Chain A
Amino acid sequence: MLTRRLLSVLALTALLSPAAAFGQEGGAKKDDTGGDGVIKIVSSLPRTGSANAQTTSMVNGIKMAIAEVGGAIGSRKIVYEDWDDASPQRGNWDPAVEAQNADKAIGDPTVLAYIGTYNSGAAKISMPKLNAAGIVMVSPANTAPSLTKEGFGEANEPAVYRPSGKVNYFRVVPTDDVQGAVAADYAKEIGAKKVFVLNDREVYGKGVAGVFETRAKEIGLEVVGVEGIDPKASNYKSLVTKMKQAGADLVYFGGTTQTNAGQLAKDIVSGGLRAKLIVPDGCYEKAFIEAAGNRALEGRCFITFGGVDPKLLTGKGKEFYENYKKTYGGEPEGYAVYGYEATKVVVAAMQRLYEAGKPITRATVLEEVGRTKDFTGALGTWSFDPNGDTTNRTMSVNTVKDGDFTTVKVVN
């Protein structure tokens, strides 16, 4: 008797609890329609693995942007959460973790903006989810053109990332169709004739290497080989031999420090291949120099970057650089200013809504960020185009000297 009764009570509780949970969710949802709860901004960037130093720098930039408005919009406090999208197993961004982060943001009604991702491959995972939920996503670092533009990736790109049909994804960094072309032009400028194009088989690396290849052919460079490397290989000595046989005098690698650019740079030297190396902005971080060692880079490696060295920034950018050094007591990594700008543009949109007396919700923030025009920030004056890309086109070519990056050319 007793057990049966107990069972029925248990069953009843079980029945009731999802309803209770549902009710709670419904209650909290009120905030989304412009209540006076907190405004949550989250970032999803790689915290585990060698990109961590770069992320720390970006997160510092994000925090600065929030602190500059006093950490609040009107009476609503801004809460910032720093999420990791990498896992120790991969030592790099992890699709499972990125998906989890997107779901977590959607499930928390106070989250009004999502800053991320660092890797273009990771963006592919969270973009459609956040788009369906109508949350604005601003990336400080994704450069793969296919995320926003037609004709660079699969036939269904970028529509597949916009299930709602609206644009919710924005980025403050110039895309790889600019970057890859700048790299090819520079290769010709330094006298390359035969180029070997490598990629790391990720969205970003393959994309930028593809643009480089197309541009190289256009300007009359001979492409003597194209290969995708295994980013976890212990060394690339065999591949270097193959490039030597092909007579390459310049190697382009579309990849990042995390996909073994450092090892490749070393093996080009130890394998006796007399060729220059050009790599994209995924290697524009101190960890790359640390991984490759000075001797493999100095005088022979060039790194393109969608922007300029933080030291060379002017106007508001210079202010940012000075403030950063004062607040954190060190030099910012290349992407710190993009973390700052990405957040700044979101916060500025919220501020405009507040001043106009409009409610601050996911929907209004999304719309207002999209309206950003002639925004004067640390990266100069720029706007978002209808695809969500920045109109900023400044690129720089850098090399390594005495263990640090120095700019050799700025292209506007």
Chain B
Amino acid sequence: MTESEVFLQQVIYGLSNGMIIALVALGYTMVYGIVELINFAHGDVFTLGGFLALTIVGALGAAAIIDPGALGDTSNWLLLFGLVIGAGVFCGGLNVAIDKVVYKPLRRTPKLTQLVAAIGVSFILINVALFWGGARMEVFGGGNAAAAPKDFPELLETSNLLGEESNVMLRLEDVAILAITLPIMVALTLFVKKTRLGRGMRATAQNPVAAKLMGIDTDRVISATFLIGGFLGGAASVMWALYNNTISFQMGFRAGMDAFTAAVLGGIGSMPGAMLGGILIGLIRAMSDQYIATEWTNVVVFGVLILILVFRPSGLLGLKQREKV
């Protein structure tokens, strides 16, 4: 491989990984923007999305699993979209339910109480995933080793789009991630900018009391935010499973940490910031793996984060100084 091929390859991997991180980061940043809560359970809601996706694939039968493309290209794309919607709706609903049951009664308590509650929810969800991993299904290895990482089947054709001779690998899954993530991000931006509910969100983020006085149903706005944030997490979990072909009860930990870092890097509370932060982290990871050493990648990522926070305490695209945890 020539130097430029290597560089191009790392850009592809960095972008694909970064887009997934960005989707998860959006969930963190939206919730923080509205209720100023670092939703530590978000990463674990994401995990459960992955488990749901694998369960659906398992229920659909072995044909799709053993031979990628066995259902025909169109049906595999349909399955993928179905999984994105299914996991998205499931995670969105779960997020709303968590908000209603746990966070809402604590809304007026000190921020620290809510934070601890979020960590508690996170532990509960991790254990739910552990139980789920023991499901007596073939895709879960018969449920014999509940905690083992689970193999997620290839849903799309795995050949190299640039030709088998090419040194640079571009697979359908890289394209799928872009093709699914970008429209979601555009739609989200338009939604927040143009719709009535979106305006309500921005108003609530700026000043909840004033928004309420202006007749905005802030409870509804908060629920909608949790719903959308959860949906993005669910969609991201399917992207993750498609790309890494693995799900495990701990996948939300690393994804959540990367995404939270991305959200802070971009400026927590800012949606374009989360997208930019996610993509940046993906690229930094790829470049550091290639040109420095994998041992140092985490150091590089957090080093960059610290540098940016020193010079721009509110993050790259953060507007104003906010209270941080």
Interface residues of A (CB under 8 A from B): 48-50, 52-53, 88, 91, 201, 227-230, 232-239, 241-242, 244-245, 257, 260, 262-263, 266, 270-272, 286-287, 290-293
Most B-side CB within 10 Å, residue of A48, A233, A257: A233
- Whether B6 contacts A245 by the Cβ 8 Å rule is yes
On chain B, the residues within 8 Å of A244 by CB distance are 1, 167
A126 to chain B, nearest CB (A): 22
- Whether B289 contacts A239 by the Cβ 8 Å rule is yes
The digit string for B50-78, where 1 denotes a CB below 8 A from any CB of A, is 00000000000000000000000000000
Question: Which listed residue (A230, A239, A263) contacts B149, Cβ 8 A?
Answer: A263
- Whether B253 contacts A53 by the Cβ 8 Å rule is no
- Whether B250 contacts A91 by the Cβ 8 Å rule is yes
**A-B contacts, CB under 8 A, total:** 120
Question: Which listed residue (A88, A232, A237, A286) contacts B141, Cβ 8 A?
Answer: A286
On chain B, the residues within 8 Å of A238 by CB distance are 10, 13-14, 285-286, 289-290, 294
Question: Which listed residue (B127, B246, B294) contacts A239, Cβ 8 A?
Answer: B294
- Whether B151 contacts A88 by the Cβ 8 Å rule is no
C-alpha spacing A238/B17, complex, angstroms = 10
- Whether A48 contacts B141 by the Cβ 8 Å rule is no
On chain B, the residues within 8 Å of A239 by CB distance are 289, 294
Q: Which residue from chain B places its CB closest to the CB of A51 in the assembled complex?
A: B147
C-alpha spacing A233/B254, complex, angstroms = 7
Most B-side CB within 10 Å, residue of A228, A245, A260, A292: A245
- Whether A290 contacts B255 by the Cβ 8 Å rule is no
A-B contact list, 18 entries, CB within 8 Å: A88-B127, A91-B250, A201-B295, A230-B294, A230-B295, A232-B254, A233-B297, A234-B244, A237-B13, A238-B290, A257-B148, A266-B244, A266-B246, A286-B144, A287-B141, A290-B145, A291-B148, A291-B149
C-alpha spacing A13/B207, complex, angstroms = 57
| Residue B222 CB within 8 A of the other chain | no
B291 to chain A, nearest CB (A): 9
The digit string for B285-304, where 1 denotes a CB below 8 A from any CB of A, is 11001100111011000000
Question: Which listed residue (B20, B150, B244) contacts A290, Cβ 8 A?
Answer: B150
On chain A, the residues within 8 Å of B246 by CB distance are 262-263, 266, 291
Most A-side CB within 10 Å, residue of B169, B248, B289: B289
On chain A, the residues within 8 Å of B141 by CB distance are 286-287, 290
Most B-side CB within 10 Å, residue of A50, A234, A238, A242: A238
C-alpha spacing A287/B17, complex, angstroms = 26
- Whether A270 contacts B158 by the Cβ 8 Å rule is yes
B173 to chain A, nearest CB (A): 8
- Whether A227 contacts B295 by the Cβ 8 Å rule is yes
Q: Which residue from chain A places its CB closest to the CB of B250 in the assembled complex?
A: A91
B52 to chain A, nearest CB (A): 19
The digit string for B237-266, where 1 denotes a CB below 8 A from any CB of A, is 000100111101111011100100000000
On chain A, the residues within 8 Å of B147 by CB distance are 48-50, 52, 91
- Whether B145 contacts A286 by the Cβ 8 Å rule is yes
| Residue B160 CB within 8 A of the other chain | yes
Q: Which residue from chain A places its CB closest to the CB of B142 in the assembled complex?
A: A290
On chain A, the residues within 8 Å of B17 by CB distance are 234-235, 237
C-alpha spacing A349/B134, complex, angstroms = 39
Q: Which residue from chain A places its CB closest to the CB of B9 in the assembled complex?
A: A241
| Residue B171 CB within 8 A of the other chain | yes
Most A-side CB within 10 Å, residue of B148, B153, B254: B148
C-alpha spacing A237/B6, complex, angstroms = 12
Could you list 11 further interchain pairs (A-B, Cβ under 8 angstroms) beyond the known A50-B248, A241-B290? A232-B253, A236-B294, A245-B6, A257-B148, A262-B149, A266-B244, A271-B169, A286-B145, A290-B149, A290-B151, A291-B246
- Whether B1 contacts A50 by the Cβ 8 Å rule is no
Q: Which residue from chain A places its CB closest to the CB of B169 in the assembled complex?
A: A272
- Whether B254 contacts A234 by the Cβ 8 Å rule is yes
On chain B, the residues within 8 Å of A48 by CB distance are 147
- Whether A234 contacts B251 by the Cβ 8 Å rule is yes
B290 to chain A, nearest CB (A): 5
On chain A, the residues within 8 Å of B171 by CB distance are 270
